[in-house]
């Protein structure tokens, strides 16, 4: 007996020693913790606080759900007796009560199992109700349709898809700089017509553009540039924009940063000067027909 008491006392002392050691270690870690958490911002503290609160609410709701299920299971015989009362059975609240005792009539509807006179190829039709969830869903779609038509088409307060797209494009344009490198802003240049500029444009075209568009702009991988059909606009500033920013989805590289603004306008003017030249082996037209327009402003600043 004495030996047992000694062993018990020794075990308690050992446990106490381990507990004190754990507490001391926790205090040491706590002392070092501020150096790590000192960098937490107010937003991070708020985030973790809200996350903890949501977790607590989730646990609370789960506990309430389990308690509710337990209460219903314990009271199921009494609830069944109440549900079987005639004054309760056919009411809306009675049907809700039926869900708790295992009667899904509120969801699936009534099964009358009465055969109608309809008979086709041996197939008989029963006079059963449609499921209430289906009927209420159908009624909701009718109400929704009237609200939708009234809001979007009669009062015109709601934006349709095209209006939403235009609004989003305007908002996106505000986020892009309005300088010379803004791809949404067209320039107002006029095509160059001097022999020196067109000669420089031809040299640039032969070196950089001919591999895709052909030596005479008849079109190879790229489209024919000598007809009146254009994929991205045939006016000088549209062609300038296409050359400068490219069309990545169609393999047209951006020449911004490789050619100066003056060089881009020179090759643009040269390409437009080939309109109607009708080279041999010209590629079939692509895009929309568009007459090339003159005009614009001088380009002395390039």
Q: How far apart are CA 2 and CA 202, in angstroms?
A: 112
The answer on 250 and 213 residing in a single domain is yes
With CA atoms as reference, report the closest residue to 98 among 74, 65, 76: 76
The answer on 210 and 132 residing in a single domain is no
pLDDT tens digits, 41-92: 888 888 899 999 999 999 999 999 898 888 878 887 887 777 777 777 777 6
Question: In sequence order, what DSSP letters do the residues of 120-138 get, joined into one string?
Answer: ETTEEEE--PPPHHHHHHH
What residues contact 188, with CB distance under 8 A and at least 6 apart?
Answer: 237, 296, 297
Q: How far apart are CA 227 and CA 284, in angstroms?
A: 9
Q: Where is the domain boundary, 94, 126, 154?
A: 154
Burial degree of 209 (CB within 10 A; 0-12, 13-18, 19+): buried
The answer on 280 and 206 residing in a single domain is yes
Residue 262 token pair:
């003056």
Cβ atoms of 190 and 236 within 8 Å: the answer is: yes
Instruction: Give the rounded distance of the alpha carbon of 3 from its chain centre.
Output: 75
Residue 150 lies in a domain: yes
**Number of domains into which the chain is organized:** 3
Residue 26 lies in a domain: no
Q: What is the pTM of this model?
A: 0.44
How many CB atoms sit inside 10 A of residue 127's CB? 12
Which value, to the nearest 10 degrees, does the dihedral of the CA atoms of residues 49, 50, 55, 59 take?
100
Q: How far apart are CA 244 and CA 264, in angstroms?
A: 7
pLDDT tens digits, 2-31: 443 454 455 545 555 654 555 455 455 455
The answer on 138 and 98 residing in a single domain is no
Instruction: Please list the rounded mean pLDDT of every run of 10 residues in the chain (302 residues).
Output: 46 52 52 52 86 92 89 80 76 75 71 69 74 87 94 86 85 66 80 93 94 92 92 91 90 91 94 92 89 53 52
The answer on 223 and 273 residing in a single domain is yes
| Residue 213 domain boundaries | 195-289
The answer on 209 and 146 residing in a single domain is no
Q: How far apart are CA 26 and CA 34, in angstroms?
A: 13
């Amino acid at each position: 007996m004495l030996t047992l008491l000694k062993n018990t006392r020794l075990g308690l002392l050992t446990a106490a020693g381990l507990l004190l050691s754990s507490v001391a270690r926790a205090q040491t870690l706590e002392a070092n913790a501020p150096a790590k958490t000192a960098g937490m911002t107010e937003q991070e503290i708020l985030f973790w606080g809200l996350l903890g609160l949501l977790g607590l609410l989730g646990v609370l709701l789960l506990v309430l759900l389990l308690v509710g299920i337990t209460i219903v299971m314990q009271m199921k015989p009494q609830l069944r007796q109440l549900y079987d009362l005639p004054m309760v059975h056919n009411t809306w609240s009675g049907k809700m009560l039926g869900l708790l005792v295992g009667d899904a009539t509120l969801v699936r509807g009534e099964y009358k199992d009465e055969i109608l006179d309809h008979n086709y190829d041996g197939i008989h039709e029963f006079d059963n109700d449609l499921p209430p969830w289906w009927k209420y869903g159908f009624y909701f779609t009718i109400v929704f349709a009237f609200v939708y038509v009234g809001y979007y088409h009669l009062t015109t307060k709601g934006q349709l898809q095209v209006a939403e797209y235009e609004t989003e494009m305007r908002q996106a344009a505000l986020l892009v700089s309005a300088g010379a490198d803004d791809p949404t802003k067209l320039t107002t240049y006029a095509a160059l017509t001097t022999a020196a500029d067109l000669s420089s444009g031809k040299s640039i075209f032969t070196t950089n553009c001919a591999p895709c568009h052909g030596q005479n702009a008849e079109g190879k991988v790229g489209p024919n540039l000598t007809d009146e059909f254009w994929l991205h606009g045939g006016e000088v500033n549209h062609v300038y924009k296409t050359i400068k920013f490219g069309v990545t989805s169609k393999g047209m590289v951006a020449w911004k940063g490789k050619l100066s603004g003056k060089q881009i306008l020179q090759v643009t003017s040269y390409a437009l000067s080939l309109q109607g030249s009708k080279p041999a082996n010209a590629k079939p037209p692509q895009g929309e027909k568009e007459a090339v327009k003159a005009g614009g402003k001088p380009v002395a600043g390039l």
